[in-house]
Chains A and B, each alone.
Chain A
């Protein structure tokens, strides 16, 4: 049995291409010879995909960058050929995949961005954000009823209606989060940061609640 510990990231440093010795910096592939490069541990997701650190991300552009990077570093491109390239491509491709997954999701992106700036959301997701307390209480109660009883069409309809309401709330707050991200670009002040954290907490909470409701409805 092992005990899990919080992770410690290493240092970022620039390097040379292992194949052509050109200066690479932090990039999944060499700009000169296109060989896949080992990313320094702790290389940030924005840099990995050639972006500057920003809460606002153009999703179409992000996908284009992801596909371009994947074409260069995916193991399918290096399965036959230099063994070094094949070996490096696996971990670098994994890093590119992880960067894309994190940045395309506004919640994951926000959390990651906070982490990069030495901030974090309260990790305890069980604490209900005050703005959601009433809604969460109602929905949890309905879910309890649904779980506790045999199939009841009225109750099911109620929970389904609640799901629609929670989903709409979720979308609404996601929109507000986007506005927050935009505002931060020109107004990087503590009140905006506080609002941003609040939206992120709410969204994280609502996502868990939606999953609970779906699970309840699937029974």
Chain B
């Protein structure tokens, strides 16, 4: 059985892996060799769509058209979107169903955006494996609710992938680390990703990974550390510039660099260039950062303690601690993990890659290549129904091992009712209205006096953590159809329409993408060349301006056509002809900086 891959669909970056023999391996971008695909998508006014590095580069130029962390919107309704997000993105006006981005008049749902990222990873995998890839295991935060999981599965289907299993990210990480562990141990996984936090406690015995408890926060991540650092940097610049959109974008990007720099060093300096000229120097020490980050990191404590308690364990029972997610490179986070679980976390595997590697292993388990391993996961949040008086009546407890099924019997409270409606919600609160609405299920019944109908309703959460509801009329013994109206998900008809559209355009899409990517690169190199010709004319040799100009014309001519091979060739030719010129510019910049320093020293 070939062609089943494991995909980590991350907030910031996404990766694809496959089980190769007995060990998983990451499949890189066939063109550049990069292993991380930025989870960024840009919708250009022309209808073209950019994905990955190219889209991320567009974020400052076209912020409204570029979605940087679509994962934070998966499975949400418009009312769940924060004010900050409303300022950052342009949403289509919709009062019900999933949130939709307005992209030049077209309403685009989060699963459709994610599908662009998945299609690109599918292409990477197909290039690396030399065969079609149509089946995948996708990872989700353990704390994702039913709607968020369905949205992720919908994204897979829209990308032409049959999603064989959704696997929880911390569990996937435990699988990746578990390959090297003793066969009788207790593992805690602390997963601080870009936008989500998860903690899971697992028991490993006889090759069975049994999740005992999980907890988390789907609105807490490494991005929050960047935000507090950015606020600190903004405090250092003149007040008049603090609300400037470009400056804010620049400083947020710098904050991320500061965060990374402070993981290896005690202090770091950044220079914020102001649009009117002038530069503000800011030095940030690790101690400053620790003070800012402290409250955010502290928010991970309660879910960890709750998970331990739900697992019925004490800190001393945890034998192995695993840290996952880029944010766990931050020294303060590591110290915190050590304090929470009483031992330092394992970090042998790259925290950016470990979830994808685990997804690759799970793909192997499903295809029978890893018959010695089995994963028993849990449902992260309780499921229940709304009963009279806004009461949340629990049907399935959180941390139940999945699959889990519970049967409940219902009758009709009113004479001659045509159907019984069941409102299903997910959460831990007492009042139904405080929990997240999943869907309304309507089961048609034959008209009878009140209390006579007998319906047996099965609530079944499958191994993906996704709920289905089936019903049987106990008086006739017949199965009853259940009509589902999802609260914030895509309806079946809507998903089918999107699938038809995407299949119609699948082949066209591949060619169009290659054309548009080449075109974007062509425009970028022509613009860069033009700028340099203007700025450094004195460095040009005889005829050089003319030769570069001719090469630029050739690139522009190619980009106007539809032949992407011609575009690539023209691009390479321009890069070659302007290479000596570029080298001279670089040399001069270096000399100047050395001279500048010696002047200062005098």
Whether A associates with B in a native complex is yes
- What residues of B have a CB within 8 angstroms of the CB of A171 in the complex? none
Residue-wise, chain B 397-430 has the 8 Å CB interface mask toward A (1 for contact) of: 0001111110111111100000011100000000
B376 at the interface (CB under 8 A from A): yes
Assembled-state Cα–Cα distance A122/B401 (Å): 28
Q: Given A70-B376, A97-B404, does the pair A90, B462 have CB atoms closer than 8 Å?
A: yes
A163 at the interface (CB under 8 A from B): no
CB pair B205 A2 closer than 8 Å: no
- What residues of B have a CB within 8 angstroms of the CB of A71 in the complex? 208, 374
A3 at the interface (CB under 8 A from B): yes
CB pair A3 B376 closer than 8 Å: no
Of the candidates B208, B374, B402, B413, the one whose C-beta lies within 8 Å of that of A1 is B413
CB pair B164 A7 closer than 8 Å: no
A179 at the interface (CB under 8 A from B): no
- What residues of A have a CB within 8 angstroms of the CB of B386 in the complex? 1
- What residues of B have a CB within 8 angstroms of the CB of A75 in the complex? 403, 462-463
CB pair A90 B205 closer than 8 Å: no
Q: Given A2-B421, A5-B411, A76-B374, does the pair A93, B403 have CB atoms closer than 8 Å?
A: yes
Smallest CB–CB gap between A44 and chain B, Å?
15
Of the candidates A3, A4, A80, A94, the one whose C-beta lies within 8 Å of that of B404 is A94
A95 at the interface (CB under 8 A from B): yes
Smallest CB–CB gap between B291 and chain A, Å?
24
B367 at the interface (CB under 8 A from A): yes
CB nearest to A97 among chain B residues:
B401
Smallest CB–CB gap between A182 and chain B, Å?
23
Total residues of chain B contacting the partner, CB 8 A: 43
CB nearest to B1 among chain A residues:
A80
Residue-wise, chain A 35-67 has the 8 Å CB interface mask toward B (1 for contact) of: 000000000000000000000000000011001
B165 at the interface (CB under 8 A from A): yes
Assembled-state Cα–Cα distance A75/B465 (Å): 12
Smallest CB–CB gap between A4 and chain B, Å?
6
Residue-wise, chain A 1-42 has the 8 Å CB interface mask toward B (1 for contact) of: 111111110000000000000000000000000000000000
Q: Given A70-B208, A76-B374, A80-B1, does the pair A1, B460 have CB atoms closer than 8 Å?
A: no
- What residues of A have a CB within 8 angstroms of the CB of B164 in the complex? 79-80
Smallest CB–CB gap between B565 and chain A, Å?
38
B387 at the interface (CB under 8 A from A): yes
A101 at the interface (CB under 8 A from B): yes
- What residues of B have a CB within 8 angstroms of the CB of A67 in the complex? 205-206, 208, 374
Of the candidates B366, B376, B410, the one whose C-beta lies within 8 Å of that of A5 is B410
Q: Given A63-B205, A70-B374, does the pair A3, B463 have CB atoms closer than 8 Å?
A: no
Assembled-state Cα–Cα distance A93/B462 (Å): 10
Assembled-state Cα–Cα distance A97/B211 (Å): 12
Which of A1, A7, A91, A101 has the most C-beta atoms of chain B within 10 angstroms of its own C-beta? A1
A74 at the interface (CB under 8 A from B): yes
- What residues of B have a CB within 8 angstroms of the CB of A80 in the complex? 1, 164, 366-368
CB pair B421 A1 closer than 8 Å: yes
CB pair B411 A3 closer than 8 Å: yes
Assembled-state Cα–Cα distance A214/B393 (Å): 22
B84 at the interface (CB under 8 A from A): no
CB pair A1 B388 closer than 8 Å: yes
CB pair A74 B374 closer than 8 Å: yes
A98 at the interface (CB under 8 A from B): yes
Q: Given A1-B421, A6-B409, A94-B404, does the pair A79, B206 have CB atoms closer than 8 Å?
A: no
CB nearest to B376 among chain A residues:
A70
CB nearest to B462 among chain A residues:
A90
A-B pairs with beta carbons under 8 Å apart, 16 shown: A1-B421, A3-B413, A5-B408, A67-B374, A70-B208, A75-B403, A75-B462, A76-B362, A76-B365, A90-B403, A91-B403, A93-B463, A94-B403, A95-B405, A101-B400, A101-B401
The 6 A-B residue pairs with the shortest CB-CB distance in the complex, in nearest-first order: A94-B405, A5-B409, A94-B403, A97-B401, A75-B463, A2-B410
Q: Which residues of A contact B (CB under 8 A)?
A: 1-8, 63-64, 67, 70-71, 74-77, 79-80, 90-91, 93-95, 97-98, 100-101, 214
Extra A-B contacts (11), CB below 8 Å, given A7-B456, A80-B368: A1-B386, A2-B385, A2-B422, A7-B407, A70-B376, A76-B165, A76-B366, A77-B374, A79-B165, A94-B402, A97-B376
